[in-house]
Amino acid sequence: MSDNPPTYLPPPPSGIPAPAPPPGATPPPIYQGPAAPDYVQPYTQQQPYVGQPYGAQPMAVGGAMAGGLLYQLGGPGGWSIVFGLAAIIVPFATNYYFPILPIAGILGAFRAIQRGRLIGGVIGIGVNLIGGLVSLFASGLIGR
């Protein structure tokens, strides 16, 4: 309870009737709300449209699927895949190997998954795991 007294009066007890109006006073009029308009509402005069809703455009299914897949493979997921492919291809093409590149690729793949690019992230994790194994074989830590 608050220390401030209430600014309103409590309701009268239920056993006491309401006070009678003074003699000669007229009761207030009963509120009936606004009157209905005399005209028909505009939306009832329109004919129903049987075609596509306004603004809906037909969409090519192949284009939408390709665009969604390219979105999934872009951003951090795409960089993760590139890092994994570099970790796989470079040891076969040269005498160099990149032991840190698959780790950076896996971190990028997790970042892609957190940002809603699941397909790119999962592919990135798989490619970077293979790239990590290739780097371990190229370094001589396993396989000799």
pTM score, whole prediction: 0.55
- Mean pLDDT check: name the lowest of 31-40, 62-71, 72-81: 31-40
pLDDT of residue 46: 57
* Rg (the chain; Cα; Å): 37
pLDDT of residue 84: 95
Each residue's pLDDT tens digit, 3-51? 666 577 776 667 777 777 788 888 777 877 777 666 656 555 556 556 6
| Segment 6-11 long-range contacts (CB within 8 Å, at least 24 positions apart) | none
Q: Where are the domains of the chain?
A: 77-139
Each residue's pLDDT tens digit, 96-137? 888 899 999 999 999 999 999 999 999 999 999 999 999 999
The residue whose two tokens read 């371990």 is 136
